[in-house]
Amino acid sequence: MRDDIEETLISEQAIQARVAELGAAITRDYAGKDLVLLGILRGSLIFLADLARQVALPLEIDTIVAASYGDETHSSGVVKIVKDIEASIEGRHVVIVEDIIDTGLTLRNLLELLRTRSPASLRVCTLLVKDRVFPEQGERIEAAYVGFHVPDRFVVGYGLDYAQRYRNLPFIGVLKPEVYTTTGAAPTP
């Protein structure tokens, strides 16, 4: 699996240090508040598990399954709720936990949906923001908490997949081009 990686962009140590900082910031900001960490599956699974353990507050963890990507590496622009949240978020403070903001379409759709359920507050914590070459083709989403910015390349690891593989790599990396050519799907960008 590691042989498929061309370059490591963010090491395991750097991720863990940053997740601890994000957890400390959330701990400061939500002290005394009724907090719900809402992970967007499957990409945020690993990040959510690590982040939650760095927040030293009582909180509820819930998840929502949203699909905007098939096995390809480009956004379809269509977001489907495959599994909704179980918690009621009315009057509660919600932090959405996301793996990466690329076009922002997934989050825009989810934010619209969740706002109709009257949370006391709704903010985004994303591990990665992709610095897009063509930002005008996406939605500007303001994330209150951002782990790292990454270049406009397709990244895998720490929850992020290519064709459902590589989520269990403990670091963030870029795949070798031949991995895409042997599996058929062309990476975009």
59 binds, among ligand IMP, Mg ion, none (CB under 5 to 8 A by kind): none
Residue 39 interacts with ligand IMP (CB under 6 A): yes or no? no
Beta-bridge mates of residue 4: none
Q: Confirm or reject binding of residue 48 to ligand IMP (CB under 6 A).
A: no
Residues 144-183 that bind ligand IMP (CB under 6 A): 154-156, 160
Specify whether 102 is catalytic: yes
Q: Which amino acid is at 189?
A: P
Amino acid found at 71? D
Q: State yes or no: residue 39 binds Mg ion (CB under 5 A).
A: no
Residue 43 touching Mg ion (CB under 5 A)? yes
| Rounded Cα gap, residues 71 and 56, in angstroms | 36
Between residue 60 and residue 119, which ones bind ligand IMP under the rule CB under 6 A?
A: 68-69, 75, 98-106
Sign of CA dihedral 130, 133, 136, 138: negative
What are the residues whose beta carbons fall under 8 Å from the beta carbon of 178, sequence distance 6 or more?
A: none
* Residue ranges in contact with ligand IMP by CB under 6 A: 43, 68-69, 75, 98-106, 130, 154-156, 160
